[in-house]
Amino acid sequence: MKHYRRVMTIAGSDPSGGAGIQADIKTISACGCFATSAIVAVVDENTIGVTGVHPVPVEFVTGQMRSILDDIGTDAVKIGMLHSPELIRGVRLTLDSYPEITDIVLDPVMVATSGDPLLLPEAVATLRDELLPRARVITPNIPEAELLSGSRITTTDQLPDVARELSRLGGTSVYLKAGHLGGEMLTDIFYNAESGTLTPLESPRTDTPNTHGTGCTLSSALASFLAKGATLDRAARLAKEYINAAIAAGAAYRIGRGHGPVHHFHAYWE
């Protein structure tokens, strides 16, 4: 019998379909893996902004995780929005029960594309101290990297040092996204903590408002390529190529009145 490459996403639900669980499932599917999910919150949002967050009880989130892992299993895990210290701790303790799961990609979601906060202030320290060390890769954007590192980031030249600094927090590899910085070219930084190497990942910047869910999409792509057996460096490059193409293709569309989504299935339909 054939076997799927499996990726479990742990994140909130986005009813507009551009971010969160919905974006994760689309991305994982487009990258050739079977997606499972544990929903941590139902978020009231659209392309304009976030109106409210309705948390799922921690024990129900961890129950979803165990139901998936005890039956279907997984080859990689993507973690997105975790809004409270209790939830962060519950997810970490549950994952600790499955030490064989090592390909964990943590997207430290703290702020939505619209600028709305998605993480309680008191949860930042719990995320940094308890969950970062369990991840193999973290994928912060500039505002998230500033919150985690305590450093102000204003230029691309700072990114290598910030990536190394973030890696020291939990011993993880770091994919540092540069989208919030200006310039015609966009240079993300991937620091491989396992080899000590640093790789700049460059692409032309696409002028588009359709950037809703880019962080969710990138981290899910990275988890998918790890699930398929790619090395860390190759998974980072493939994820960069995927999100760059999804943004470029999504720029041609108009959906909603704010930040629209990227085109997750750009390789399959227009």
In terms of Cβ atoms closer than 10 Å to its own Cβ (0-12, 13-18, 19+), residue 17 is: buried
Residue 31: active-site member = no
Residue 179: active-site member = no
**b/e sequence 67-96, b meaning 16+ C-beta within 10 Å:** ebbeeeebbbbbbbbbbbbbbbbbbbebbe
Residue 213: active-site member = yes
- Number of Cβ within 10 Å of residue 171's Cβ equals 12
From 21, 48, 12, 13, select the one nearest 212 (Cα to Cα).
48
Catalytic residue from among 33, 211, 240, 250: 211
Residue 27: active-site member = no
Residue 2: active-site member = no
Residues 212/254, Cβ–Cβ less than 8 Å:
no
Angle between helices 214-227 and 20-30 (to 10 degrees): 40
Q: How far apart are CA 204 and CA 166, in angstroms?
A: 26
DSSP assignment, residue 57? Answer: P
Residue 115: active-site member = no
Catalytic residue from among 18, 20, 213, 250: 213
SS3 state of residue 102: coil
Q: How far apart are CA 205 and CA 185, in angstroms?
A: 5
Question: Distance from CA of residue 94 to its chain's centroid?
Answer: 19
List all residues 6 or more positions away from 121 whose beta carbon is below 8 Å from its beta carbon. none
- Determine the longest span between alpha carbons in the chain, in angstroms: 52
Catalytic residue from among 215, 240, 250, 260: 215
Active site residues: 177, 211, 213-216
